[in-house]
């Protein structure tokens, strides 16, 4: 099965750019687009260092669940340890959304929620996504919404905090 996914990767421990680069490298020929690296204040209320974030678009011969398992492999390779929810990490890779034949995949399975229910609230996901796809759209409970409009709905300070910090390589 071929599917298109939008992935979000973040890191705030160790060599953050190197951790993000491992995701790009692991995608290989499946990579369609990768945003610049953005420096972003921590989302979720845990006091910690700023994150480096990227959003990627990939096409590959994987089911959405296989993409999720692929994300976990990337996290394991970066020695990711699960401790505090929304806390610091070497590498976090989430499936933001998936499409099969241009149709969004919807899933309410707790182990794979699609689209990711918090993506539309996260400037650190949406701003880099808009950079690589100005026409990006995301399914929400209120219908399919342009990512540009979702960004406009966020607190301006959250959006301003997401700062472009150059390309990966």
Ligand X SMILES: Nc1ncnc2c1ncn2[C@@H]1O[C@H](COP(=O)(O)OP(=O)(O)OP(=O)(O)O)[C@@H](O)[C@H]1O
Binding site for ligand PH2 (CB under 6 A): 10, 40-44, 51, 53, 86, 92, 124
| Cβ distance to ligand X smaller for residue 114 or 151 | 114
Say how far residue 86 (Cα) sits from the centre of its chain. Answer: 14
Site string for ligand X, 79-118 (x = CB under 6 A): ---x--xx-----x-xx---------------xxxx-x-x
Q: How many CB atoms lie within 10 A of CB 139?
A: 17
Which option in ligand PH2, ligand X, none does residue 156 bind, with CB closer than 5 to 8 A by kind? Answer: none
Counting contacts by CB under 6 A, is residue 15 touching ligand X? no
Q: Looking at the DSSP assignment, which residues form a beta bridge with residue 146?
A: 137
Q: In angstroms, rounded to a whole number, what is the distance separating the alpha carbons of residues 50 and 115?
A: 25
Q: In angstroms, rounded to a whole number, what is the distance separating the alpha carbons of residues 45 and 155?
A: 15
Q: In angstroms, rounded to a whole number, what is the distance separating the alpha carbons of residues 67 and 137?
A: 20
Which option in ligand X, ligand PH2, none does residue 53 bind, with CB closer than 5 to 8 A by kind? Answer: ligand PH2
- Which residue in 54, 127, 124 sits closest to 93, CA to CA? 54
Counting contacts by CB under 6 A, is residue 158 touching ligand X? no
Binding positions for ligand X, rule: CB under 6 A: 68, 82, 85-86, 92, 94-95, 111-114, 116, 118
């Amino acid at each position: 099965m071929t599917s298109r996914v939008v992935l979000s990767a973040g890191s705030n421990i160790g060599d953050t750019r190197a951790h993000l680069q491992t995701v790009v490298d692991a995608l290989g020929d499946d990579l369609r687009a990768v945003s610049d690296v953005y420096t972003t204040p921590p989302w979720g209320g845990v006091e910690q260092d700023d994150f480096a974030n990227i959003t990627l678009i990939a096409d590959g011969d994987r089911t959405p669940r296989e993409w999720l398992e692929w994300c976990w492999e990337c996290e394991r390779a970066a020695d990711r340890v699960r401790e505090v929810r929304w806390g610091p990490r070497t590498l976090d890779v989430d499936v933001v959304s998936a499409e099969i034949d241009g149709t969004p995949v919807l899933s309410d399975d707790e182990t794979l929620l699609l689209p990711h229910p918090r993506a539309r609230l996260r400037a650190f996901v949406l701003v880099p996504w808009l950079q690589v796809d100005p026409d990006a759209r995301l399914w929400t409970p209120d219908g399919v919404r342009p990512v540009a409009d979702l960004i406009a709905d966020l607190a301006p300070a959250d959006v301003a905090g997401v700062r472009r910090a150059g390309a990966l390589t």
